[in-house]
Amino acid sequence: MSSCWATIQDYGLRSLGIGERILPKSDITFCEQFVLIGSGLIWNIYFGLIAVFFGFWFAIILAIGKNSRSGLYRVPSNSFIFLFRGSPLFIQFFFAYELFVLLPKAGITLDLGFVILSAETRWLTRAWLGGIIVLFCNTSAYSAEIFYGAIRSVPSTEIEAADAYGITGFKKFWRIIWPSMLRLAWPAYTNEAIFLFHATALIFFSGFPAWRQSGDALYYASYFADKTFNPFLPYPIVAGYFIAVTLLIIYLFGRVNHHLNRHLDLKQKSQLKFSINLLR
Amino acid sequence: MFNICANPSSLEGTIWLICYLTTAKHFAFYFSFIVVLMLLILAAPLSLLFGFAASTAVRSSVWFVRICAKAYINMVRGIPDVVFFLFVPLALDQLFELIRHKTLCSDVVEPIWRGTDFMVCSAAKLPLSTADLWVHQLYSFILALIAFAIVFGAFAGNVLTGAMKAVPKDQTDTAAAYGFTQKQIFWRILVPQMWVYAIPGLSNLWMILIKATPLLFLLGVEDIVYWARELGGSKTSLYAYPHPDWRVYYFAGLLIFYLSMTWVSEKILIRLQNNLSHGQATMAGKELQGDI
């Protein structure tokens, strides 16, 4: 047990580059596998959180654009959604990586007058930035389709009532459409969040190299499967971790769903269905 | 391929490009597109079969069968598909080799797992080390196909279970009242009627399946991703057709391939949906007849 504690100290934050530099090579114990794969999970959670948080807002902008009567907003939104929903995420990662590699190495300097920002383009070829950008665009497109569907199914009576009270413009959106839209979209959006979290496992297998062997949970799992020739331990461990986080997502999103439905009586409440509804 | 391509270094412009795109390696690249289509065509019915079996098992009267089937169709909700794609082929490969080892070389007493090695006798190797390259390719393709069937079978199981639940209970009750047996109710009432409820989910699944095919790359099959990386990488003047890093163009080509695949599928599936809704007592069916 004490040796396992030492393993946690050595490898607990290995995926962030903290701790023992060299990965275990021989006599690999269960504890080492469990700790290192768990350490990799930090990356999956990081990718998932950042992409969902930023993707949520961009998806709403896209959904409003897609719902717009003016082609100026509708066509770009539609094309963006089609591009990222119509092609495999795996290919998107490869394409983006090769694109980022071709960018000039020197970096871009932005002179904003009061402050000079310098962004290094080589960061784009690293998973923590390049991978996030692709994931962000991908989840935005999928969520936008969900939110668009929800906007379309906001009861017309609510909008008519708003018109009757003289509520217009941004206020109409923010006070009337937005709450209903979010409530209607939430069960499907929960599903999207789960699928996105699963998709984070693809990043280190698709062009983006794991720098100094700091990878995600699946990266370490396949490392162990390669080293021990025994897939029956690392892959169930990684599966267990993913199931645990998926249950956490369902719980957290369920709480939000409860909050969004709090004004409705029991009959109208849309329960988060535990059975899967496929969206991708 | 063409006679004018005999001396590549003397070529220029369009002719260079034509010759470049018709090299033997490029034909291997084009063939890999057929491999992807083959996978799609074979994986779709297989996973439908797996899904049908699972959704039938969910309704089983045996408790153990029911639990197993439920676990199977729900596992895809918690575990990323890519984990299965890495795990299943490796696990199956070891399983097959283990069985062959036990039957073919029962005289070998040394353990199979030696430290960090998985050693079976050479006669038990799958495929045999003397086999041709295409046998190795075919073997990894079949393993990949099984992995796809397992994962998408679970997805299809979800869809079909939902569809079976969606068939109006009056229908099965009526059948029972007429003295149909459970088996007859299942095959004559439930199964024929569930498809119309299953089609939207299955269409969606087809789109997901298309977008999962590049994962073949992870399974050791020389698929389109493999060739795009191989052919696109920068080639020095040692090669017949030297060029800088063109991988981004190859992947752009793949993007276009997949976009057109999904675009065409979407069009066909909408048409199919409309055909099936025709005459149905649903909102879609009534809209088609102009009642709404």
The complex scores an ipTM of 0.83
* pLDDT value of residue A17: 74
Residue B161 vs residue B109, higher pLDDT: B161
Those residues whose C-beta lies under 8 Å from the C-beta of residue B80, and which sit 6 or more positions away, are A198, A199, A201, A202, A218, A242
* pLDDT tens-place string over residues B128-145: 767 777 888 888 889 999
- The answer to whether position B292 is within a domain reads no
Residue B52 vs residue B3, higher pLDDT: B52
- pLDDT above 70 (res B292): no
**CB-CB: which of A101, A205, A275 is closest to B218?**
A205
Which chain A residue has its CA at the smallest distance from B213's CA? A88
The reply to whether residue B117 touches residue A229, judged by beta carbons under 8 angstroms, is yes
Which chain B residue has its CA at the smallest distance from A195's CA? B80
* pLDDT value of residue A116: 60
**CB-CB: which of A88, A222, A276 is closest to B214?**
A88
The reply to whether residue B83 touches residue A89, judged by beta carbons under 8 angstroms, is no
The reply to whether residue A88 touches residue B213, judged by beta carbons under 8 angstroms, is yes
Average pLDDT score, chain B? 83
The reply to whether residue B116 touches residue A89, judged by beta carbons under 8 angstroms, is no
- A239 to chain B, minimum CA–CA distance in Å? 5
Q: Which chain A residues touch B154 with a CB distance below 8 Å?
A: none
Q: Are A202 and A89 in contact (CB under 8 A)?
A: yes
Six-digit token string for B180: 């149909």
Those residues whose C-beta lies under 8 Å from the C-beta of residue A235, and which sit 6 or more positions away, are A221, A225, B83, B86, B87
Length of chain A: 280
Six-digit token string for B108: 């070998």
The reply to whether residue B82 touches residue A92, judged by beta carbons under 8 angstroms, is no
Backbone angles phi, psi at A92, to 5 degrees: -60, -40
- The answer to whether position A161 is within a domain reads yes
B258 touches chain A (CB under 8 A): yes
Which chain A residue has its CA at the smallest distance from B210's CA? A88
- The answer to whether position A209 is within a domain reads yes
Which chain A residue has its CA at the smallest distance from B260's CA? A86
Residue B67 lies in domain? 3-287
What is the count of residue pairs from A and B with beta carbons less than 8 Å apart? 130
Half-sphere exposure of B52 (CA within 13 A, CB side): 13
- The answer to whether position A271 is within a domain reads no
Q: Are A112 and A24 in contact (CB under 8 A)?
A: no
Q: What span, in angstroms and rounded, lies between the C-alpha atoms of B231 and B254?
A: 13
The reply to whether residue A94 touches residue B118, judged by beta carbons under 8 angstroms, is no
- The answer to whether position B142 is within a domain reads yes
* pLDDT tens-place string over residues B222-272: 788 888 888 887 777 767 777 777 888 889 999 999 999 999 999 998 888
- pLDDT above 70 (res B172): yes
* pLDDT value of residue B46: 95
The residues with which B114 forms a beta bridge, in sequence order, are: B117
Six-digit token string for A114: 């009061």
* pLDDT value of residue A76: 94
* pLDDT tens-place string over residues B183-218: 899 999 888 888 888 888 888 899 999 998 988 888
* pLDDT value of residue A21: 73
Q: How many domains would you assign to chain B?
A: 1
The reply to whether residue B79 touches residue A280, judged by beta carbons under 8 angstroms, is no
pLDDT by position in tens, chain A (length 280)? 557 777 777 777 777 777 777 777 777 778 888 888 888 898 999 999 999 999 999 999 999 999 888 889 999 999 999 999 999 999 999 899 888 887 766 566 666 666 665 666 677 777 788 889 999 999 999 999 999 989 888 888 888 999 999 998 889 888 888 999 999 899 889 989 998 999 998 888 887 877 777 788 888 888 888 888 788 888 999 999 999 999 999 999 999 988 988 888 766 666 555 445 555 5
Q: Count CB neighbours of A260 within 10 A.
A: 18
Q: How many domains would you assign to chain A?
A: 1
Distance set, CA B288 to CA A149, B198, B201, B251 (Å): 21, 19, 21, 41
> If contacts are CB pairs under 8 Å, which of residues 188-247 in chain B contact chain A?
201, 204-205, 207-208, 210-215, 217-218, 225, 228-229, 232, 245, 247
Q: What span, in angstroms and rounded, lies between the C-alpha atoms of B152 and A278?
A: 12
Which chain B residue has its CA at the smallest distance from A206's CA? B218
**Alpha helical stretches, state H, B182-223:** 182-184, 191-212
Amino acid at A207: G
User: Which pLDDT band holds residue B285 (cuts at 50, 70, 90)?
Assistant: low
Q: Which chain A residues touch B213 with a CB distance below 8 Å?
A: 88
Q: Which chain B residues touch A201 with a CB distance below 8 Å?
A: 80, 82-83
Q: What angle do CA B102, B106, B107 make, to 5 degrees?
A: 155
* pLDDT value of residue B175: 93
Q: Count CB neighbours of A58 within 10 A.
A: 17
Average pLDDT value for residue range B162-168: 89
Distance set, CA B183 to CA A63, B169, B188 (Å): 47, 16, 8
Which chain A residue has its CA at the smallest distance from B162's CA? A275
Nearest in space to A131 (alpha carbons), one of A221, A184, A202: A202
The reply to whether residue B205 touches residue A86, judged by beta carbons under 8 angstroms, is no
- A35 to chain B, minimum CA–CA distance in Å? 18
User: Domain containing B164 — which CATH number?
Assistant: 1.10.3720.10
Those residues whose C-beta lies under 8 Å from the C-beta of residue A143, and which sit 6 or more positions away, are A55, A56, A59, A63, A189, A192
Backbone angles phi, psi at B179, to 5 degrees: 85, 20
* pLDDT value of residue B261: 92
Angle between helices B224-232 and A89-102 (to 10 degrees): 10
The reply to whether residue B212 touches residue A243, judged by beta carbons under 8 angstroms, is no
Beta-sheet strands, E only, within chain A:
108-111, 116-119
Q: Are A237 and A35 in contact (CB under 8 A)?
A: no
Q: Count CB neighbours of B217 within 10 A.
A: 23
Q: Which chain A residues touch B211 with a CB distance below 8 Å?
A: 87-89, 280
Average pLDDT value for residue range B70-97: 87
Q: What span, in angstroms and rounded, lies between the C-alpha atoms of B42 and B52?
A: 16
Q: Are A150 and A177 in contact (CB under 8 A)?
A: no
Q: Which chain A residues touch B113 with a CB distance below 8 Å?
A: 229-230
Q: Classify B250 as helix, strand or coil.
A: helix
The reply to whether residue A242 touches residue B207, judged by beta carbons under 8 angstroms, is no
User: Domain containing A84 — which CATH number?
Assistant: 1.10.3720.10
- The answer to whether position A108 is within a domain reads no
Q: Which chain B residues touch A227 with a CB distance below 8 Å?
A: 116
Residue A51 lies in domain? 30-88+130-260
